[in-house]
């Protein structure tokens, strides 16, 4: 006879109590899900919903990239729980990005990935950002240029460089993600790089790099900007 789950043995062993006594790092994935799910529904307990999520998403990266619409249709996961899940992962991404960013200068593409990789690698659609740098290569502002399929015709260099001029930026680094997880640059990526690089030269604010973010890796187009 199998032993009962530790989630149901003793009220003192419930995830909320265990969170207080042993800390979040010592909770199982199911227990963490239980805390996010909350009270569950009339037909499904929070434990049952949590176990369903853990089985459906054995890799957290898949859950992290899910949107509200796809989550709220899962058994026991309504709009409120779906919103809490998406919110939790977004807060985690932002916290990771802050830890990776700090006030250190951007020395190369690995620093760019450390800053934006946690946020962009699981994003469900393409996001195109510009990091505005001062003369010491520290980030003075991050600008979201566009969200959705990257299209050179939708990128407006005048808007990007208007902000850069207003901030007194000394240089710009372009960053965007590939939701597929493969950061290999596409012809469109290269076209956007050339377009914004030419605009940067015209206004005296050089584009220093274009970093394409994938899942766990990245590609830098800096060598193409030097030619």
CATH number, domain containing residue 169 = 3.40.140.10
The contacts of residue 170 (CB under 8 Å, 6+ apart) are 133, 134, 135, 205
Burial 110-124 (b: 16+ CB within 10 A, else e): ebbbbbbbbbbbbbe
pLDDT at 1: 44
Name the domain count of the chain. Answer: 2
Domain match, 80 and 141 both: no
Domain match, 112 and 209 both: yes
What is the per-residue pLDDT across 73-116, written as a single tens digit (0 to 9) for each? 888 888 888 898 888 888 887 776 666 555 678 999 999 999 89
Domain match, 21 and 86 both: yes
Q: Which of 55, 73, 95 is the last residue of a domain?
A: 95
What's the rounded Cα separation, in Å, for the pair 6 and 84? 24
Give the tokens for residue 78. Answer: 């309504």
pLDDT at 58: 78
Domain match, 81 and 32 both: yes
pLDDT at 210: 96
CATH number, domain containing residue 74 = 1.10.150
What's the rounded Cα separation, in Å, for the pair 39 and 45? 7
pLDDT at 132: 93
pLDDT at 153: 60
Domain match, 26 and 45 both: yes
pLDDT at 11: 44
Domain match, 89 and 112 both: no
Q: Which of 45, 74, 95 is the last residue of a domain?
A: 95
Domain match, 116 and 216 both: yes
Q: Is residue 2 in a domain?
A: no
Separation of first and last alpha carbons in the chain: 70
The domain containing residue 220 runs over which residues? 105-225
Domain match, 109 and 80 both: no
Q: Are 176 and 124 in contact (CB under 8 A)?
A: no
pLDDT in tens, the chain (227 residues): 444 444 443 444 588 888 888 888 788 888 888 888 887 776 778 888 888 888 888 778 788 888 888 888 888 888 888 898 888 888 887 776 666 555 678 999 999 999 899 888 888 889 999 999 999 999 988 888 888 766 666 677 887 898 899 889 999 999 999 999 999 999 989 988 999 999 999 999 999 999 999 988 999 999 877 65
Domain match, 42 and 115 both: no
Q: Where does 5-102 have alpha helices with state H?
A: 15-22, 29-37, 46-56, 60-64, 68-71, 79-101
Sign of CA dihedral 94, 90, 210, 168: negative
Q: Is residue 100 in a domain?
A: no
């Amino acid at each position: 006879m199998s032993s009962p789950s530790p989630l149901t043995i003793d009220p003192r062993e419930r995830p909320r109590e265990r969170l207080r006594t042993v800390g979040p790092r010592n909770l199982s994935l199911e227990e963490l899900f239980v805390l996010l799910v909350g009270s569950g529904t009339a037909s499904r307990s929070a434990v049952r919903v949590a176990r369903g999520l853990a089985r459906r998403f054995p890799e957290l990266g898949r859950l992290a990239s899910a949107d509200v619409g796809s989550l709220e249709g899962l058994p026991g996961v309504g709009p409120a729980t779906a919103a809490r899940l998406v919110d939790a992962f977004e807060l985690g991404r932002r916290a990771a990005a802050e830890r990776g960013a700090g006030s250190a200068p951007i020395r190369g593409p690995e620093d760019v990935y450390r800053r934006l990789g946690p946020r962009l690698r699981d994003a469900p659609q393409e996001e195109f950002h510009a990091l505005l740098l001062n003369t010491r290569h520290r980030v003075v502002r991050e600008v979201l240029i566009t969200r959705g399929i990257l299209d050179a015709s939708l990128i407006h260099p005048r808007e990007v460089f208007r902000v850069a001029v207003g901030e007194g930026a000394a240089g710009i680094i372009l960053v965007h993600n590939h939701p597929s997880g493969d950061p290999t640059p596409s012809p469109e990526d290269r076209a956007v790089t050339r377009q914004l690089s030419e605009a940067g030269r015209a206004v005296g604010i050089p584009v220093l790099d274009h970093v394409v973010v994938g899942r766990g890796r990245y590609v830098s187009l800096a060598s193409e900007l030097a030619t």
